[in-house]
Each structure stands twice: as structure tokens, then as C-alpha cells.
Amino acid sequence: MQVSEQDPAAGPAARKVGEFLRSRAEQIAQRWADAALFRTVFTVSRDEAVEACKAVVEALAEVAATGRPDDITAPGFHAVREQLGRMAATRARTGSTPAQVAGEVADLSRPAVTLLRGEFDDPAGGQAQDCVLALTVLMGTLRLVVMETTLSQGQELIERQRQQLLEVATPVIKLWEGIVAVPLIGTLDSARSQVVMESLLDAVVAERARYAILDITGVPTVDSLVAQHLMKTVAAARLMGAECIVSGIRPAIAQTIVHLGIDLGNVVTRSSLADALAHALRRQGSAVPPGTPAASLAP
């Protein structure tokens, strides 16, 4: 519901609230600085909390001046969205739930309403009630902005953490001079395959690798999609001047590849990472004694 469309008095009342917020910004900020939302976030100095409070009050005044206190997309909120998001995130890290943060934002309404009522000779009069209603709606909009910003930042954090997990889960290891390997564990999907390809190509360039090993020992199943991702990675490595070797082809996976009709004829494959490393070493002209365990091949 948009109050400004329901009540003709809402617009003028909201603009009057905007004037009130500008004239009483210091007093409101001083009271808000002791509220949990600000006090527990800005712990270095109280002045820092007061300045943060002033920024929020000024944003509210700008929104109120438009006559639409229920507009969550109002430009006035742009300046403080990032600050509000950081504050809510800080409260969340200390154990506060979204409901508690929303309650802390709602608590900011009381001192502001008290000051607003003091502006009128008759606090119970019609004009005073209209202004209190407009301020209440405005504070409710602020609460929505805080929650929306918090959820948005939460999604961004989850996406960053997901990307970091993908990178951690696909390490590129230098096995020997000119030889790098990616031990894959778990299911390969499009997003992870892209990370594998980028990480491998970066390592090929950084290490000037001539051989790149993709070890799929830890991949539970190989279907047509996984095989397609592997083939793309092999092709990309070749374009960078490195020969790609796929290791960890277990009997069950070999049978699956045959049943799917996947052609890996142009790809060098080995049953284990040790065999793949031995192959690469031989291609480089290094002598590898028969039966040499992989651990003893470390430079």
C-alpha cells in the first residue's frame, strides 16, 4: 500500500516531517547513537556513531521531502544503503537474527516520534497525527531498506564464498619442472569446470608448463557433460602449448565412457596420477625407474 496515494494529506505531512528531520537532525542523532543498532557497531567513539546517525536522518529527510515516505526505491536512500548493510552485517556477525535487526531499526522510531510531537502545540491534533503517521511510515520504509540491503549483501557474500570454495576445491599443483596437475574431487558442473579451466591455463602460463594432468580419481561418475568439460579443458590447454593428460580412469569409468560413445581417442589417458606423471617425465626425457612410487618423484 502506498500511503501517499491513499491520503491526500500524506504528501504535505511527509514534507513537514522532512523539514522536522533537517532541523532536529542533531538531537535525533544524539538519541540514536545510544540505540543498539548504532552503539554496538560504532565502538571506537560515540562521535562516529552520531555522524552515522546524521547521515541516516538526512537520507530520511530527503525521502520525506518527496512526499512519498513509503518509497523504498527513493534516491535519498542510495547514500546510506551501503552503510546500513554494513551495520546489519556487523550485527549479524555478533549473533543477531534478521528479526532482531529489524526490531532495532523499529526502535529508532520512538525517540524521533517523541521529538516530533514536541513540535506541536496540540500533540493530539489532526496535523500532529498526520505527521506522526508519515514519520511512522517513513521509519517502516527504512526498516524495509535495511532488510533488503542485508539480504542483497548476504547473497553477494554467499556467491563470493562459493567462488572461493570452487577455487580452493580445484588447486593446481606443480609436480615437476614443466608439469602441473589438477586433482579433481567431487562432481563437475559448468561453474566448477570453468574455474578448473581458468586455473589450469593460468598455471600453464605461470609455470611455463609443457604438460598438464587432469586427475579424475576423485570424480565419482563421468557422464557426457563431464566428458564434454574435460574435452574443452584439454583443447584449451593445447592452444596454450601444453599437452593434457587425463588420469584416474578406473574400470567403471572406462566402461561408462565406452557405453556413452564418448571419443577420447585424441586424449592421452592413464590409469593413475603416478602413471601420468611418469609419462610426462619420459616425454621430457627424464629417466623414470619402473615401479617408482609417486611420492618419490617429487623434485
The residue extents of the domains of the chain are: 3-161, 173-297
In 194-221, which positions are buried (b, 16+ CB within 10 angstroms) versus exposed (e)? eebbebbbebbeebebbbbbbbbeebee
Catalogue the E-assigned strands of the chain: 173-176, 179-185, 211-218, 243-247, 268-270
Query: What is the model's pLDDT at position 98?
Result: 79
Instruction: Name residue 204's amino acid.
Output: V
- Cβ-contact 182, 166 below 8 angstroms: no
pLDDT number for residue 96: 80
Euclidean distance between CA atoms 89 and 174, whole angstroms: 39
For residue 299, what pLDDT is reported?
A: 46
pLDDT at site 220:
84
Alpha carbon distance 28, 24 (integer Å): 6
pLDDT of residue 298: 45
**pLDDT number for residue 1:** 37
Residues of the chain with pLDDT under 50: 1-8, 293-299
Q: How many CA atoms lie within 13 A of 230 on its CB side?
A: 31
Q: How far is it, in rounded angstroms, from Cα 144 to Cα 204?
A: 49
Q: What local confidence, expressed as pLDDT, does residue 117 receive?
A: 93
> Given this model, what pLDDT does residue 53 score?
93
CA distance 86 to 196: 33
3-class DSSP state for residue 214? strand
Please give the CATH architecture assigned to the domain spanning 3-161: Orthogonal Bundle (1.10)
Give the pLDDT of residue 164.
Answer: 59
Q: Which amino acid is at 93?
A: R
Q: Domain 173-297: which topology?
A: Transcription Regulator spoIIAA (3.30.750)
Among 76, 77, 63, 69, smallest CA distance to 137 is for 69
> Strand 268-270 and strand 243-247: pairing?
parallel
Q: Please give the pLDDT value at position 81.
A: 82
Q: What is the pLDDT of residues 202-252, one digit of tens each?
A: 999 999 999 999 999 988 888 888 888 888 899 999 999 999 999 998 888
**244 strand-pairing partners:** 212
Predicted pLDDT of residue 226: 80
Instruction: Report the C-alpha dihedral over residues 20, 25, 31, 36, rounded to 10 degrees.
Output: 110
